[in-house]
Structure 1
Amino acid sequence: MKKWILAAFVAAAFISCSKDDNSTPAPTTTNVTGAVDGVWTKGNTYKVTGHLQINEGKTLTIEEGVTVLLADSIVKPEIVIKGNLYSLGTTANPVKFTVPDEWKTAKNQFGALWGGLIAGPTSAEVILQNTVLEYGGAVTTEESPSVKAGLYKAAAGEHVPVLYYPNVNGKLVVTGSTIRNFNEDGFYIEGGKAIFSNNTIYTTGVSGGDAINIKSGVQADVAFNLVYSPNTNALKLSNSGDRSPQAYVVAYNNTIVNAGWRRPTTKGGSIWLEKTVRADLYNNLLANDRYGIKRDKGAPEDNRSKVANNLYFGNDQTTVDQFQPNAEILAGTNDVIGTKAGDNDPKFVNYPVATATTNATFSTSWDFHLQTGSPALTKGKTDFTRQFADGLTVNGTVYKSPAPANYIGAFGTK
Structure 2
Amino acid sequence: MKLKEILTSVVLITALSISSCKKANIDVDTSPIVQNGNGVSGEVYGIWTKGSVIRVTGDIIIPLEKSLTIEEGVVVIMDTLAKPEFIVKGNLYSMGTAQNPVKITIEESYRTPAKQFGKQWGGILAAPTSSEVLLDNTILEYGGATTTEASTSVKLGLYKAKSGENSPALWFSNVKGKLVVTNSTFRYFQDDCTYLEGGKIIFANNKFYSTGLVGGEGINIKSGCLADVSFNLFYGTNTNALKLSNVGDRTPQAHVVAYNNTILNTGWRRPTAKGGSVWLESTVNVELYNNLFANARFGIKRDTKLPEDKRSVFKNSLYYGYSQATVDQFQPKADIIAGTNDIISKVAGDNDPKFVNYPLSTATNNAILNDSWDFHLQAGSPALNKGTVAFTRNFPDGITINGINYQSPAPTANIGAFGLK
Partner of 1:29: 35
Residue 196 of structure 2 contacts residue 221 of structure 2 at CA under 8 Å; is this kept in 1?
yes
| CA displacement at 1:106 relative to structure 2 | 1.2
**C-alpha deviation, 1:29, in angstroms:** 2.1
Percentage of identical aligned residues: 63
TM-score under structure 2 normalisation? 0.92
Residues 31 and 52 in structure 2, CA contact (< 8 A), matched pair in contact too: no
- Aligned pairs for 1:45-64 (under 5 A) are 45-64=53-72
Instruction: Spell out, residue by residue over 1:120-175, the C-alpha distance to the aligned partner (whole angstroms, 9 max, x if none).
Output: 01000000000000000011111111111111111111110000111000000000
When normalised by structure 1's length, the TM-score is 0.93
Separation in 2 of the partners of 1:82 and 1:245? 22
1:229 aligns with 2:236: yes
Give the superposition deviation at 1:26.
Answer: 5.0
Structure possessing the higher radius of gyration over alpha carbons: 1
Structure 2 Cα separation of the partners of residues 36 and 249 of structure 1:
33
Task: Show the counterpart of 1:18.
Answer: none
| Structure 1 stretch displaced more, 74-83 or 26-35 | 26-35
| Equivalences for residues 13-412 of structure 1 within 5 A | 24-25=30-31, 27-30=33-36, 31-70=39-78, 72-412=79-419
**Letter of the 2:201 counterpart:** A
CA distance in 1, matches of 2:93, 2:55: 18
Q: Residue 47 of structure 1: SS of its match in structure 2?
A: strand
Classify 1:258/1:46 alpha carbon distance in 2 versus 1 (closer, same or farther; 3 Å). same
Describe the SS at the equivalent of 1:388. coil
1:252 CA drift (Å): 0.1
Deviation at 1:24, TM superposition (A): 5.0
Offset of residue 28 of structure 1: 3.6
Question: By how many angstroms is 1:73 displaced?
Answer: 2.2
Instruction: Rate the CA distance shift 1:340–1:137 in 2: closer, same or farther, 3 A.
Output: same
Taking the aligned partners of 1:235 and 1:210, their CA distance within structure 2 comes to 6
Secondary structure at the counterpart of residue 50 of structure 1: strand
Distance 1:102 1:25 in 2: 23
Once residues 117 and 31 of structure 2 are traced to their aligned partners in structure 1, the CA distance between those partners, rounded to angstroms, is 35
Question: Aligned AA for 1:345?
Answer: D
The residue matched to 2:195 in structure 1 has which SS? strand
Please tell me the residue identity of whatever aligns with 2:67.
T
Amino acid at match of 1:82: K
Q: What one-letter code is carried by the residue in structure 2 that aligns with 1:322?
A: Q
* 1:399 Cα deviation after fit: 1.1
Write the letter of the residue equivalent to 1:27: I
Counterpart secondary structure, 1:272: strand
How far apart are the structure 2 equivalents of 1:117 and 1:271? 24
Q: Which runs of 5+ in 2 are unaligned?
A: 1-28
Q: 1:112 to 1:24 in 2, by over 3 A?
A: closer
**Aligned-pair CA distance for 1:393:** 1.0
Return the alpha-carbon distance in structure 1 between the equivalents of residues 300 and 256 of structure 2: 14
SS at match of 1:319: helix
Taking structure 1 as reference, are residues 327 and 25 closer, same or farther at Cα in structure 2, changes over 3 Å only? closer
The one-letter code matched in structure 2 to 1:385 is T
Amino acid at match of 2:203: F
**SS, match of residue 320 in structure 1:** helix
CA contact (8 A) 2:80 2:106 kept: no
Question: How many Å separate the matches in 1 of 2:281 and 2:359?
Answer: 33
